Structure 1
Amino acid sequence: MASSFSSSSSSTVTIFFFVAFLVASFPSCVDSRGGERSFGFAGLANHSYEASGRHLLVQEMNQSEEVQDVTHGYMTNHELEKAMKKITYRCANISRMYSIGNSLMGIPLWVLEISDKPGQEEPEPAFKFIGNVHGDEPVGRELLLFLANWLCDNYGKDPLASIIIKNVHLHLLPTMNPDGFSLKKRGNANNVDLNRDFPDQFFPQNNDEQPRQPETRAIMNWLRENHFTASASLHGGALVANYPWDGSKDLRKQYYACPDDKAFRYMANLYSHFHYNMSQSREFEEGITNGAAWYPIYGGMQDWNYIHGGCFELTLEISDVKWPRAEELPVLWNFNKASMLNLVASVFKSGVHGRIFSALSGQPLPAAVDIKGINYTVKAGQLFGDYHRMLAPGQNYEVTASMPGYFPKTAWFSIEDEAVNVDFILNPVDGESRKLKPLENNCKCGYGGMQKSEMMLILTRNHLQVSIAAFAILGFLLFLFRRRINFRIPNSRQLVTHKRALVP
């Protein structure tokens, strides 16, 4: 992959000493999202969008009668909890289980984390799957257990399973709405559609979090406590990969693109084309759709994730039938398996990744990362200064890392079929002649075969100037006494390795 890099900061002479390690290798439907198609906000009128031709209220009532006959074979909430615990017992080295809160009826919202270091923070991307957002769409909760068991069984055997577990922290929330599942209805115990319950960019007057349902608040707090790179929620009632925006400013049905429209289209296409038949849809071109172009909704989860969490979320409709018979679940798993695995893998096999350090202290910086031409900022992590930025391949990009108190740095690169790594070292605005510490890079991060670690010793321009003056005086004194002294000062050099760049 051809990449070129340069820095926008003032000229600074740097000396790098590095140790190179081995490169890591890798290799016509009923819709769920809309339901009643209401805005989901108190004080705002409900809209049924009759003109679309989908009379969902009637369909839901008919389906509720059928549900009584098809619940057999699905795990109850208690059985689901037991199945998750069984996985943590069987694969304790790569999994753990934790709760992000409780439903309105007090049922824990259990999450299963799968990683080679579960529960430990690492400079790696994190991905989350959320199932059963709507109580009458249970396929997602079952498929996430299929996924967890497959990863558990195939770690160390299947290359893709091993790559995901070693390079991603995967979090699985099989049911966001256990109450709705138990009650066999779309909403939660308060009959609230949880995919209309999030604060919305077009209705800021409804941003008060207190009236939100406990399940909604649990998701919001979860996102604030974890640095998720990407996400997907699993729904039923259609077969399509849906991406932001979900609503439009003037409330009309129209294509309403978010700043990262190209990246989202790439992610949606990836899921659709790995699926057994999603890309062959007659209703949706390539099996994907912009949410507002399909029909606008407000208070949706995926837009809130992108706006407030720096998390690129898709809404995946994975089954034409909302509540298929349980004997069909293995078939649905086989239809979605490759899509789910490759979507998770995309968070480290594509885009741009790296770490950001202070040239003064050598410590990681939670700096802002911006791409020229895309009005959206991703923040680096607090502990490791790592960032993971989804981008569409086949294009050239200009990335800038910035933080108050530091000079920004810029790099140029192109993305083809692999991810790119760009590390930044930011110089403080007031860093005069103080000696800088060597950067300690104990990161074991690799994205698509990139070099794993470098150790760098950095000197500021003023420090080097003082050193040169001292050497000159010493050389002159030695010349007076010995008359034959050749004193050599090494030139600085920049370390650039294949697929990984450092912007000093």
Structure 2
Amino acid sequence: MAILSFHFLLLLLLLGAFSSLPTQAAARGGHDPSGYVGNHGSFSRNLLEDKPRITEEMVYGYMTNPELEVAVHAFGSRCPNISRIYSIGKSVNNFPLWVIEISDKPRQKEAEPAFKFIGNVHGDEPVGREVLMHFANWLCDNYLKDPLATLIVENMHLHILPTMNPDGFALRWRGNANNVDLNRDFPDQFSPFNNDINYRQPETRAIMNWVKQEHFTASASLHGGALVANYPWDGTRDKNKYYYGCPDDKTFQYMASVYSQSHYNMSLSKEFEGGITNGAFWYPIYGGMQDWNYIHGSCFELTLEISDTKWPKAAELPVIWEHNRMSMLNLVASLIKSGIHGRIFAADTGRPISGSVMIKGIDSKVRASRTYGDYHRMLAPGEKYEAVVASMEGFRPKSTRIVLEQEAVNLDFILDPIEPDGQMKLTRNDCGCPCDNDKLFHVQEAHLWLYILVLFVLLILYLLFKRKTASRLLTYRYSPRRPIAV
């Protein structure tokens, strides 16, 4: 009897524990796949059964994976002067992850910001792949005709990955071919059990390598099932649900609002004030892509829920595209129109260096590129920033104060190198003399007393020499004259 009571009590405790878990909306998470299982506490990423019935009628009108591949390459052929087609890897079932790069110089590295769009992260949310192809074709058709299209093409590099999860789309379920939710598969600051590289999916690894290779300033992934712009953090330290902002919370609110306010009806949401939400406040997730981008790539990423229905009928896609068109354009253009942009140079060589830029009071850094030393720091406009600090190992940091209005600010830094002994290395001025640019006579002042002592000794020697010479002249003047031999 005692054993039965114990088992009954244990069952009640387990039921209470499960009932206290946060309820998750289907859009960002569906059923929470996270759970700790045996084998040294490894992190389980397999989904619970989350396979909503997708009918043939719903699928009709969407591009299949082979059709999407043809469409991507057809775009490259139609718009060769402003595009490049490349792959960042393959899915579990060996389907290439094709990317469209759009720029006026798509095959060159430039000192310009870069933005990436990612669609179809979840296999059963295909609206993003269709909308992104609409977006790419619109830019091609309107380049040199529309001001925003021209601004984007000529002043930045835009990278579009229509599908991150082609296998899940083909299988008509949420996860990839291994039934893994790719938006729970990234390393997470709050879940160390999610950091085992042996469990990382090929699609996830492809994104991680892509971010390391490119110098992305900002990013957005397109999802379905709600209508809201979501921003970091996506989780909390104690795994509870509440607002948990990242260091750049104001900037992310600004970016999310740019998208929401430009949308047909996102900002009118009754569920989300202003059509935006902090991820952890909505419901916490762990292993998400946007938090990883911000921490490890200095890339400001949003998670955009652009359709109330996860898999709308194809006939609705043109309307969804039109509702999101200005939002997508304005979000991408905000990289050029706002924030601070510049380059970092070494004072002794004049060459660009890959330093970092930090804002006083904001605990996050943005790195400059290795090629051109260019940095692009997203910031909320209408703010005063006491110190913008550029730094790099081996150089003395420099800072300045800015007032950021509605327009972007251009700000370059020239850093002075430091010698191994901690002294600042002297550079040459225009006259060719070694000097510090800030204090011309710093070195001479340090040795002033030595110079005075040397001058004093020279003066004494000069006076002694002059006195001896004068004595010889007097002796010669008053001595008897000698006869001159003729």
Q: Does 1:67 align with 2:55?
A: yes
Q: Does 1:32 align with 2:2?
A: no
Alpha-carbon spacing, 1:40–1:339, altered in 2? closer, same or farther (3 Å): farther
Name the aligned partner's letter for residue 345 of structure 1. A
Alpha-carbon spacing, 1:44–1:290, altered in 2? closer, same or farther (3 Å): farther
SS at match of 1:133: coil
Counterpart among 426, 433, 445 of residue 415 in structure 2: 426
> What is the deviation of 1:347?
1.0
* TM-score using structure 2 length: 0.80
Match of 1:237 in 2: 225
> What is the deviation of 1:464?
5.9
CA distance in 1, matches of 2:257, 2:354: 31
Between 79-88 and 33-42, the greater mean CA deviation after superposition: 33-42
Match of 1:338 in 2: 326
Say whether the 8 Å CA contact 1:107–1:178 is kept in structure 2: yes
Counterpart among 88, 98, 101 of residue 89 in structure 2: 101
Name the aligned partner's letter for residue 147 of structure 1. F
Sequence identity, in percent?
A: 64
For residues 363-407 of structure 1, the C-alpha deviation after alignment (integer angstroms, 9 at most, x for no partner) is: 101111110000001111111111001111110012000111111
> What is the deviation of 1:429?
1.7
* TM-score using structure 1 length: 0.78
Q: Does 1:362 align with 2:353?
A: no
- The two structures, once aligned, show a CA RMSD in angstroms of 2.5
Where do residues 220-369 of structure 1 align in structure 2 (5 Å cutoff)?
Answer: 220-369=208-357
Alpha-carbon spacing, 1:70–1:428, altered in 2? closer, same or farther (3 Å): same
Match of 2:460 in 1: none
Match of 2:395 in 1: 406
Between 36-45 and 226-235, the greater mean CA deviation after superposition: 36-45
Q: Does 1:190 align with 2:183?
A: no
Name the aligned partner's letter for residue 120 of structure 1. Q
For residues 147-184 of structure 1, the C-alpha deviation after alignment (integer angstroms, 9 at most, x for no partner) is: 00000000010010000001110000000000000000
Counterpart among 134, 137, 155 of residue 125 in structure 2: 137
> What is the deviation of 1:414?
1.1
Counterpart among 147, 152, 165 of residue 140 in structure 2: 152
Counterpart among 405, 415, 428 of residue 435 in structure 1: 428
Match of 1:395 in 2: 383
Match of 1:83 in 2: 71
Give aligned pairs, total: 411
For residues 455-503 of structure 1, the C-alpha deviation after alignment (integer angstroms, 9 at most, x for no partner) is: xxx974499659x9xxxxxxxxxxxxxxxxxxxxxxxxxxxxxxxxxxx
For residues 190-225 of structure 1, the C-alpha deviation after alignment (integer angstroms, 9 at most, x for no partner) is: 000000000100122432323100000000000000
Where do residues 202-213 of structure 1 align in structure 2 (5 Å cutoff)?
Answer: 202-213=190-201
Say whether the 8 Å CA contact 1:200–1:298 is kept in structure 2: yes
Alpha-carbon spacing, 1:308–1:432, altered in 2? closer, same or farther (3 Å): closer
Match of 1:110 in 2: 98
CA distance in 2, matches of 1:113, 1:40: 38
Say whether the 8 Å CA contact 1:130–1:233 is kept in structure 2: yes
SS at match of 2:97: strand
Name the aligned partner's letter for residue 274 of structure 1. S
Alpha-carbon spacing, 1:46–1:291, altered in 2? closer, same or farther (3 Å): farther
> What is the deviation of 1:235?
0.2
SS at match of 1:283: coil
* Alignment gaps of 5+ in structure 1: 1-28, 48-55, 438-457, 469-504
CA distance in 2, matches of 1:316, 1:422: 31
* Alignment gaps of 5+ in structure 2: 1-23, 445-486
SS at match of 1:80: helix
CA distance in 2, matches of 1:461, 1:320: 60
> What is the deviation of 1:39?
2.6
Say whether the 8 Å CA contact 1:433–1:462 is kept in structure 2: no
CA distance in 1, matches of 2:426, 2:175: 62
CA distance in 1, matches of 2:363, 2:35: 28
Say whether the 8 Å CA contact 1:39–1:299 is kept in structure 2: no
Say whether the 8 Å CA contact 2:118–2:160 is kept in structure 1: yes
Say whether the 8 Å CA contact 2:256–2:302 is kept in structure 1: yes
Name the aligned partner's letter for residue 214 of structure 1. P
Name the aligned partner's letter for residue 405 of structure 2. E
Name the aligned partner's letter for residue 229 of structure 2. A
CA distance in 1, matches of 2:68, 2:213: 25
Say whether the 8 Å CA contact 2:347–2:427 is kept in structure 1: no
Alpha-carbon spacing, 1:131–1:436, altered in 2? closer, same or farther (3 Å): farther
Alpha-carbon spacing, 1:40–1:374, altered in 2? closer, same or farther (3 Å): farther
> What is the deviation of 1:32?
1.7
Say whether the 8 Å CA contact 2:260–2:327 is kept in structure 1: yes
> What is the deviation of 1:115?
0.3
CA distance in 1, matches of 2:341, 2:251: 15
Match of 1:3 in 2: none
Match of 1:475 in 2: none
CA distance in 1, matches of 2:129, 2:427: 56
CA distance in 2, matches of 1:32, 1:365: 42
Higher relative contact order (CA 8 A, sep 6+): 1
Where do residues 440-459 of structure 1 align in structure 2 (5 Å cutoff)?
Answer: none
Counterpart among 404, 427, 452 of residue 415 in structure 1: 404
SS at match of 1:210: helix
Alpha-carbon spacing, 1:259–1:41, altered in 2? closer, same or farther (3 Å): farther
CA distance in 1, matches of 2:105, 2:79: 12
CA distance in 2, matches of 1:330, 1:160: 20
CA distance in 1, matches of 2:166, 2:369: 32
